[in-house]
Amino acid sequence: MNQTAPLAIDVHGLCKSFGKKEVVHNLALQVRTGEIFGFLGPNGSGKTTTIRMLCGLLKPSAGSGTCLGYDIINESLIIKTHVGYMTQRFSLYEDLSIRENLEFIARVYKLKNRTQRINESLDRLKISKERAHQLAGQLSGGWKQRLALAAAMLHEPQLLLLDEPTAGVDPEARRSFWEEIHNLSTQGITTLVSTHYMDEAERCHRLAYIAFGHLLTTGSIPDVIKDAGLHLWIVKGDDLYTLAEKLRLDPAITHVTAFGQTLHVVGTDAAMLEQAIQPYQNNHYQWKQAPAELEDVFIHLVSTAKNNHG
Amino acid sequence: MTLNFSFQRLWAVIIKEFIQMKRDHITLAMIIIIPLMQLLLFGYAINSNPKNLPTALIKGDQSSFTRTLIQSMKNTEYFKFLDQPVTEKEANYLMSIGKIQFAVNIPPGFSRKLIRHEIPDILITTDATDPVAASNAITAVNALSSRLFNRDFQGSLSYLVPDPQAFNLRLHIKYNPELITQYNIVPGLMGVILTMTMIIITALAITREYERGTMESLLATPVRPLEVMLGKVIPYIIVGYIQATLIIAAAYFLFHIPIEGSLMLLFFLALPFIAANLSIGVTFSTIAKNQLQATQMSFFFFLPSILLSGFMFPFYGMPKWAQDIGNILPLTYFLRITRGIILKGTDFIHTWPNVWPIIIFMVFALMLGLKRYRQTLD
């Protein structure tokens, strides 16, 4: 990605409280034009709230910034015309057919050549003319997501805000979904996408991780991993469960996580970590040092954040 | 450019609402069935001028006079005498269990006293637990007495003919001389039915978007509050007209109510009334948190409308404070408009004093709704 590309999203000090509960705290985000930006974090961490603030659906309690160069506080109406927002929960009209939903959106955005654009959109969705008369409420989860994405893209927005677009969607549909997003990226369309899937996070150009309303890290994947400064040992062998129990007692080991048939043993100090695992480096286990992975970083960030903000 | 009101976006909302209305069979059924049910119930069941009321006769005397008396009471159509005369004790019992509305007691020696010019009494006892039921019947009996026996008082009894009164009091019962309740109720029902269905349907309109989660998508689009609100109101104006046509057709064909004035004028003036009700409905919709609350608020508005507008009870019979509340409600004015045009043949100039308060109400309700409409999910 071009480092000097103008910022599609540039916000700082963003806060949002509902009553006394602060859901987003002092959040800053910079997303470059044409970038696919991953937005990660546990459930209830404030991802949806942040996205809603960006597209004018919620008024920030504090903070300021721009979206596509428009002020997020005062120019949210203009932002709405240039942003495509896909909600976490399907929010198109279930009692309208696929085509009727798209027609409604097309009219609301005052699109020219309405029929042509809807037909193009249906072609891209691989929906036949007959199927387009099916009610949206009768579609399966995957088809609903595709329709929602098509609706969010119908007015050719410069920025897509996608809130967990692939939750509950089968792998094949997820794959084609991401192909579409990368395709849009090459056309210069910026995407901010929230997700829980690591493989999806790894397909983003840059990402941000948020927990308990706090932004914990942001940057490209190598940067994020480097900034965390973690050291990883991967261990294989018998009865890893008992081993994990023992390792967790050592303060030099920040966390131990099961990954398939292996354990990831992570620490912040390489020497102390090596010392800690030394008693178990025998012929029962095979140890291997490796660079930390994104998921190790996130697990580390959340456990640290839990101590600070949780 | 995108910040201003757009007819194209309004049109988008209208089309969407129409399609949704078309698919919502329960609401569609409600739109047709509620007016029909109310028409049949109110039109056929309610009668504030009841006739053929069950009456017991305590016959202490029998003569041509008493036969004349009883016959003329029957002729008023208000009294329906039991097959057999009863004793005073039986009459008391029948009244206490609600089997009779009246007991007519003709004391022994009535005819004799009459001839002797001793001015005998006839006692009519009425069950006044429901004053409305008895009042017209009593009026009819009072009208009888003075000249009732003139035909019997001939020849040697002519001295009993009462002197003519010094002046005559004439009563002219205008617009509905036969005091047919349906003439009052059915034109009024048009307003009541429109109030009820219009408010409930639109009160659900915006809360439904919130409950189904579609509001999030809608708010993310550039659509403006006024476009949403008008877009939800306009399709139901057509529904309102369907109901109005249904009611007027029933009034004419089912209840044979004469339509004295201009139907065109009535339909034209129904517009501000329908719009006023839809506006208050949409406003409730912006205030209510869910569809249940929206329904409750509709009833909260509907109850005073039906009770204090002059639909159920005479407007001028209410205390000042009740009239004041009634004077705020659009139904009060619309009742006067419909009854005026249908029964009195009123023209536009004479209905105007009842039109502008409805328009003011509508504008006020719409403004309140716009103010309450949330443009964010906060």
| Alpha carbon of A290: minimum distance to chain B alpha carbons (Å) | 45
Higher-scoring residue by pLDDT: A1, A23: A23
- Contacts A153 to B, Cβ<8 Å: none
Tell me where in chain A the CATH 3.40.50.300 domain(s) lie. 7-225
pLDDT of residue B1: 40
CA distance B234 to chain A (A): 17
- In this prediction, residues B217-227 reach a mean pLDDT of 91
Name residues whose C-beta falls within 8 Å of residue B219's C-beta, 6 or more positions apart in sequence: A57, B375, B376, B377
The C-alpha angle A60, A206, A10, rounded to 5 degrees, equals 30
Q: What is the pLDDT of residues A246-261, one digit of tens each?
A: 999 998 999 899 998 9
The verdict on A180 touching B (C-beta cutoff 8 Å) is no
pLDDT of A310: 65
Is residue B34 within a helix (H) or strand (E), and if so which, with residue range? helix B25-40
Q: Do A79 and A70 meet the contact criterion of CB atoms below 8 Å apart?
A: yes
CA distances from B280 to B170, B234, B362, B366, B372 (A): 46, 13, 7, 7, 12
CB within 8 Å of chain B, chain A residues 117-136: 135
The residues with which A84 forms a beta bridge, in sequence order, are A160
Domain limits, CATH 3.30.70.920, in chain A: 231-291
Edge-to-edge strand list for the sheet holding A231-237: A255-259, A262-267, A231-237, A285-290
Q: What are phi and psi of B357, to 5 degrees?
A: -60, -30
Chain A residues whose beta carbon lies within 8 Å of the beta carbon of residue B217: 85, 87, 91-92, 151
| Probe site for chain B from A17, A92, A96, A107 (most B CB atoms < 10 A) | A107
- Cross-chain CB nearest to A81 (options B216, B219, B222): B222
User: How near does any CA of chain A get to the CA of B284, in Å?
Assistant: 22
Residues of chain A with C-beta less than 8 angstroms from the C-beta of B223 = 108
- Here the tokens at position A139 are 């579609």
B220 contacts in chain A (CB < 8 Å): 55-57, 80, 83, 85, 87
Q: Work out the minimum CA distance from B224 to partner chain A, whole angstroms.
A: 9
Say which residue the tokens 């001389």 belong to.
B177
Count of C-beta atoms within a 10 Å radius of residue B284: 29
Judge: A107–B378 Cβ closer than 8 Å, yes or no.
no
Residues of B in contact with A83 (CB under 8 A): 220
Domains of chain B (ranges; CATH) run 15-46+181-372 (no CATH), 53-160 (3.40.1710.10)
User: Inter-chain contact A103–B15, Cβ cutoff 8 Å?
Assistant: yes
The whole-number pLDDT of residue A4 equals 67
Please name the residue of chain B whose CA is at the shortest distance from the CA of residue A55.
B220
How is B274-314 classified by DSSP, letter by letter? Answer: HHHHHHHHHHHHHH-SSHHHHHHHHHHHHHHHHHHSSSSS-
pLDDT higher than threshold 90 for residue B167: no
Is there a contact between A95 and B219 if contact means CB atoms under 8 Å apart?
no
Burial class of residue A3, CB neighbours in 10 A (0-12, 13-18, 19+): exposed
Q: Do A57 and B220 touch (CB under 8 A)?
A: yes
Partner-chain residue, chosen from A80, A100, A135, that has the shortest CB–CB distance to B221:
A80
**Which is the CATH superfamily of the domain at A7-225?**
P-loop containing nucleotide triphosphate hydrolases (3.40.50.300)
- A5-32 in b/e form (b: 16+ CB < 10 A) is eebbbbbeebbbeeeeebbbbebebbbb
A85 pLDDT tier (thresholds 50, 70, 90)? very high
pLDDT confidence of B194, banded at 50, 70, 90? very high
Q: Are strands A159-163 and A83-86 parallel, antiparallel or unpaired?
A: parallel
pLDDT at A71: 94
Give the tokens for residue B240: 């309102």
Here the ipTM equals: 0.86
Tell me the DSSP string of A50-97. Answer: HHHHHTTSS--SEEEEEETTEETTT-HHHHHHHEEEE-SS--S-TTSB
Determine whether the interchain pair B220/A94 forms a contact, defined as Cβ–Cβ distance below 8 Å.
Answer: no
Nearest to B217 among A77, A87, A103 (CB): A87
Identify the residue with better confidence: B117 or B146. B117
Q: What is the pLDDT of residues A91-118, one digit of tens each?
A: 999 999 999 999 999 999 999 999 999 9
Which of B211, B350, B163, B195 lies closest to B275 in space, CA to CA? B195
CATH architecture of A231-291: 2-Layer Sandwich (3.30)
Spatial distance between the Cα atoms of B365 and B275, rounded to a whole number of angstroms? 10
Inter-chain residue contact A95 with B20, CB threshold 8 Å: yes
Angle between helical axes of A221-228 and A294-309 (0-180°, round to 10): 50
In contact, A21 and A171? CB cutoff 8 Å: no
* Nearest residue on chain A to B214, alpha-carbon basis: A91
Residues of chain A in contact with residue B8, where contact means CB-CB under 8 angstroms, are 107, 110
pLDDT bracket for residue A220 (50, 70, 90): very high
Chain B: closest CA distance from residue A56 (Å): 7
Indicate the residue of A80, A85, A104 with minimum beta-carbon distance to B16. A104
Q: How far is B196 from chain A (nearest CA, A)?
A: 25
Facing residue for B377 by CB, picked from A52, A90, A135: A52
What is the bridge-based pairing of β-strands A231-237 and A285-290? antiparallel
What is the token pair recorded at A117? 């654009």
Least confident of A54-68, B152-166, B173-187: B152-166
Q: Which residues of A touch B6 (CB under 8 A)?
A: 110
Tokens at B51, concatenated: 């006739």
| Assigned token pair, B156 | 């040697």
Per-residue pLDDT of B327-360, as tens digits, reads: 999 999 999 999 999 999 999 999 999 999 999 9
Q: What is the pLDDT of residue B146?
A: 67
B205 to chain A, closest Cα gap in Å: 13
- Is some CB atom of chain B closer than 8 A to the CB atom of A87? yes
Q: Share the mean pLDDT of chain A.
A: 91
Contact A134, A146 (CB under 8 A): no
- Other CB atoms within a 10 A radius of the CB of residue A278 amount to 10
Average pLDDT over residues A277-305: 90
Q: What is the mean pLDDT of chain B?
A: 89
The yes-or-no verdict on residue B55 having pLDDT over 90 is yes
Confidence (pLDDT) at B7: 93
Question: Which residues on neighbouring strands pair with residue A97, listed in sequence order?
Answer: A135
The beta-strand segments (E) located in chain B are: 53-59, 79-81, 102-106, 123-126
The shortest CB-CB distance from A107 to any of B8, B23, B215 is to B8
Closest chain A C-alpha to B313 CA, distance in angstroms:
43
Quick one: tokens of B185?
Answer: 């109720």
Cα A249 from Cα B260, distance rounded (Å): 95
Residue contacts between A and B (CB atoms, under 8 Å): 79
Q: Which residues of B touch A (CB under 8 A)?
A: 2-3, 6, 8-9, 11-13, 15-16, 19-20, 23-24, 212-217, 219-223, 376-378
Q: Does A75 touch chain B (CB under 8 A)?
A: no
Structure tokens that stand for A305 in this block: 């954040």
- Give the pLDDT mean for B55-72: 89
Q: What confidence score (pLDDT) does residue A1 get?
A: 47
| Contact: A95, B19; criterion CB under 8 Å | yes
Give me the pLDDT at residue B337, please.
Answer: 95
Residue B33 vs residues A210, B15, B201, B338: alpha-carbon distances, Å: 54, 24, 14, 22
Predicted confidence (pLDDT) per residue in B228-281, tens digit: 989 999 999 999 999 999 889 988 998 899 899 999 999 999 999 999 999 999
User: Cβ contact (<8 Å) for A96 and B212?
Assistant: no
Identify the band that residue B3 occupies on the pLDDT scale cut at 50, 70 and 90: low
Report the residue of chain B nearest A78, measured CA to CA. B2
Does A95 reach chain B within 8 Å, measured CB to CB? yes
Most A-contacting residue of B221, B230, B374 (CB-CB within 10 A), to test interface: B221
From B3, B16, B19, residue closest to A77, measured CB to CB: B3
